Amino acid sequence: MTNLYVITDNSGNVKPIIWLGNSKRNAEKFPFDWKPMSSVGSGVIEIRIHHRGEFRVIYVSKFSDAIYILSTFQKKTEKTPRIEMVWARKEYAKIKQKRI
């Protein structure tokens, strides 16, 4: 599972993930993957969950104060619904605007 072993914050600090008990082995069985969503914004990631349907979580974690969940939804067609992309872009823009 890529990128589940080290977390970096906005300051460039690297933080290890410490797996306790069988948590790592169990997580590796989860039916998911991820991909960058640069069409939404810089640093935005989409987690794709494949379990009894298709589910998505779009988030950004590059800011030091929080991890922002931009959108969550169940995917019912091959293409990501336009409304979800518009919503995620709008939320991302709001976050960036607060930082100016």
Question: Model confidence over 32-90: pLDDT tens digits?
Answer: 898 999 999 999 999 999 988 899 999 998 887 888 999 999 999 988 899 999 999 99
Whether 13 is covered by a domain: the verdict is no
CA dihedral sign of residues 63, 69, 71, 75:
positive
Judged against a pLDDT cut of 80, whether residue 7 lies above it is answered with no
Residue 4: partners with Cβ closer than 8 Å, 6 or more residues away: 17, 27
Whether 16 is covered by a domain: the verdict is no
Whether 19 is covered by a domain: the verdict is no
Whether 54 is covered by a domain: the verdict is yes
CA dihedral sign of residues 7, 41, 91, 74:
negative
Whether 37 is covered by a domain: the verdict is yes
Whether 90 is covered by a domain: the verdict is yes
Q: How sure is the predictor about 18, in pLDDT bands with cuts at 50, 70 and 90?
A: confident
- pTM summary value: 0.74
Q: What domain range is 85 assigned to?
A: 31-98
Report pLDDT digits (tens) over 22-36: 888 888 888 889 899
Number of domains into which the chain is organized: 1
Task: Report whether 71 contacts 62 (CB < 8 A).
Answer: no
Whether 52 is covered by a domain: the verdict is yes
